[in-house]
């Protein structure tokens, strides 16, 4: 970074964090010469907008994640402000909320993730039934991908938790995971190893009925997830699905590769809510009163505080119902209800909590 960054300023044009701290070259030099700063890497949202715009092909976001890992490894930093994230993750893996329904011969599972399950349990059930028609023997896994630990730089915690999840599935014969959450998507693609990761929007785009006539088409703006800013296929699939559900997508200046973080990224709100707020404001500027549709439940919650927002799967399965931010404890109650719903369904194979299915205890 020190040798290659030419300090062109492109990455700091939209990033208040870099405007405050200086170019990635300045930051890297100070880190090396003056020693680590414990707060600094936790002020970056890890949104990779800098990576998307850098003309030298540099990845400042990866540098900030590496700095977090360096601090965590040296045992230098565990901010008490991050405890809620760690608790959230641990609860997702706990016997209270984890659940595996794996029919006999199951090779593919739906992995809806904590955030979506907590805000839209009814949509998860409908999506599962839709996919089950296409993929006989589909399983369901309610568990946490442990991205909070990953992004906090607690790589050892992440490796242990994600490794256990992957091992359970491999032992049960699962070879494919269908995800909807952009964060789960990134974790499964990067760390899933033998387990293939498929995006639900890809399957839906192939099988969702073609558009009928929609006399009153709804004008919407898409907020692309920063976690999938480089995934053009998913971005296209989401737009295709919106078209089929009777929406017309208005293009916006900050979309796809150039999308903004909704404000939630990198757990920045816990330590620098002002920086998180700047991203939130940017991501809704230019919306012009239109409905904002995204494909990340976390983004709906954040953006939905400022403008009307919903998830693309709301548009498909419960048009007109979604959109309001859903908060704890409601999210936990929803996840508990979802688990109970699947527990009560007839089981033909293996089922249980993470703890019951794990041989790595
Ligand atoms: S865009 Fe790339 S080259 Fe330009 S200042 Fe940022 S990191 Fe350096
Ligand atoms: S990852 Fe996002 S928040 Fe972090 S430096 Fe890059 S643009 Fe700024």
pLDDT in tens, 7-51: 999 999 999 999 999 999 999 999 999 989 889 999 999 999 999
pLDDT of residue 2 exceeding 90: no
Residue 66 pLDDT more than 80?
A: yes
Q: Are residues 264 and 164 both part of a single domain? A: no
Taking 60 as the threshold, does the pLDDT of residue 360 lie above it?
Answer: no
160 and 126 within one domain: yes
pLDDT at 321: 64
155-170: b or e for each residue (b if 16 or more CB lie within 10 Å)? eebbeebbebbbebbe
Q: Which residue in 64, 109, 112, 62 sits closest to 230, CA to CA?
A: 62
Ligand 1 centroid to residue 50 C-alpha, Å: 7
CB of 58 shorter than 6 A to ligand 1: yes
Has residue 170 been placed in a domain?
yes
Asked if 40 and 28 touch (Cβ cutoff 8 Å), the reply is: no
**Residue 122 resides in a domain:** yes
Residue identified by tokens 């890992």 is 69
Task: Indicate whether residue 64 lines ligand 2 (CB < 6 A).
Answer: yes
Q: Domain check: are 92 and 69 in the same one?
A: no
- Residue pair 262/280 in contact by the 8 Å Cβ criterion: yes
Same domain, 194 and 302: no
12 C-alpha to ligand 2 centroid (Å): 8
CB atoms within 10 A of CB 110: 22
Residue 242 and residue 217 share a domain: yes
The predicted-structure confidence for 118-171, as pLDDT tens digits, reads as follows 999 999 999 999 999 999 999 999 999 999 999 999 999 999 999 999 999 999
Q: Which helix (H) or strand (E) holds 351?
A: strand 350-352
Residue that finishes a domain, picked among 73, 102, 122: 73
**Interaxial angle between packed helices 121-134 and 330-344, expressed in degrees from 0 to 180 and rounded to the nearest 10:** 30
Q: Would you say residue 244 lies in a domain?
A: yes
Q: How far apart are CA 11 and CA 82, in angstroms?
A: 27
CA-23 nearest atom, ligand 1: 5
Range of the domain at 106: 82-205+328-357
Would you say residue 99 lies in a domain? yes
Confidence of residue 275 (pLDDT cuts 50, 70, 90): very high
| Structural domains counted in the chain | 3
Residue 57 counted as domain residue? yes
Higher-pLDDT residue of 174, 75: 174
Q: Is the pTM higher than 0.85?
A: yes
Contact (CB, 8 A) for 190 and 228: no
CATH code for position 286: 3.40.50
Q: Which two tokens stand for residue 155?
A: 């790589």
Portion of the chain with pLDDT greater than 70, in percent: 96
Phi-psi group of 357: left, alpha or beta (phi > 0 → left; psi -120 to 50 → alpha; rest → beta): alpha
Asked if residue 347 and residue 199 are part of one domain, the reply reads yes
Atom of ligand 2 nearest to the CA of 275: 3
What's the rounded Cα separation, in Å, for the pair 101 and 352?
A: 7
> Are residue 241 and residue 309 in the same domain, yes or no?
yes
Query: Is residue 15 within 6 Å of ligand 2 at its C-beta?
Result: yes
Residue 132 belongs to a domain: yes
**189/335 same-domain check:** yes
Distance 48 CA to ligand 2 centre (A): 6
Same domain, 178 and 198: yes
Mean pLDDT, to the nearest integer, of 339-359?
A: 91
Distance CA 338, CA 225 (A): 25
Is 191 a domain residue?
yes
Whether 201 and 344 map to the same domain: the answer is yes
Residue 5 belongs to a domain: no
Bridge partner list, 352: 100
- Establish whether residue 310 lines the binding site of ligand 2, counting it when its CB lies within 6 angstroms of any ligand atom: no
Identify the CA nearest to 239 among candidates 186, 212, 201.
201
């Amino acid at each position: 970074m020190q040798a290659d960054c030419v300090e062109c300023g492109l990455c700091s044009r939209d990033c208040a964090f870099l405007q405050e701290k200086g170019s990635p070259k300045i930051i890297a030099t100070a880190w090396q010469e003056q020693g680590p700063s414990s707060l600094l890497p936790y002020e970056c949202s890890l949104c990779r907008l800098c990576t998307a715009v850098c003309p030298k092909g540099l990845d400042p976001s990866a540098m900030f994640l590496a700095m977090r890992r360096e601090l965590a490894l040296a045992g230098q930093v565990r901010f008490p402000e991050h405890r809620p994230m760690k608790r959230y993750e641990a609860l997702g893996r706990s016997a209270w909320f984890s659940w595996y329904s794996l029919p006999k011969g199951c090779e593919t599972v739906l992995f809806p993730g904590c955030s979506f399950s907590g805000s839209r349990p009814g949509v998860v059930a409908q999506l599962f039934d839709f996919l089950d028609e296409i993929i006989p023997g589909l399983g369901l896994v309610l568990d946490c991908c442990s991205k909070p630990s990953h992004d906090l730089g607690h790589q050892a915690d992440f490796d242990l938790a994600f490794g256990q999840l992957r091992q359970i599935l491999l032992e049960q014969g699962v070879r494919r995971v269908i995800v909807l959450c952009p964060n789960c998507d990134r974790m499964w693609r990067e760390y899933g190893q033998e387990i293939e990761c498929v995006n639900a929007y890809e399957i839906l785009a192939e099988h969702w009925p073609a558009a009928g006539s929609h006399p009153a088409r709804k004008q919407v703006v898409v907020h692309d997830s920063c976690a999938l800013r480089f995934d053009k296929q998913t971005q296209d699939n989401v737009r295709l699905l919106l078209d089929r559900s009777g929406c017309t997508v208005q293009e916006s200046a900050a979309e796809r590769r150039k999308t903004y973080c909704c404000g939630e990224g990198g757990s920045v709100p816990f330590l620098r809510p002002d920086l998180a707020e700047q991203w939130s404001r940017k991501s809704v500027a230019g919306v012009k009163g239109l409905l904002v549709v995204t494909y990340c439940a976390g983004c709906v919650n954040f953006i939905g505080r400022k403008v009307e927002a919903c998830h693309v799967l709301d548009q498909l399965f419960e048009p007109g119902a979604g959109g309001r931010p859903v908060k704890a404890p409601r999210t936990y109650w929803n996840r508990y209800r979802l688990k109970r719903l699947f527990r009560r369904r007839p089981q033909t194979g293996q089922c249980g909590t993470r703890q019951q299915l794990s041989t790595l205890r």
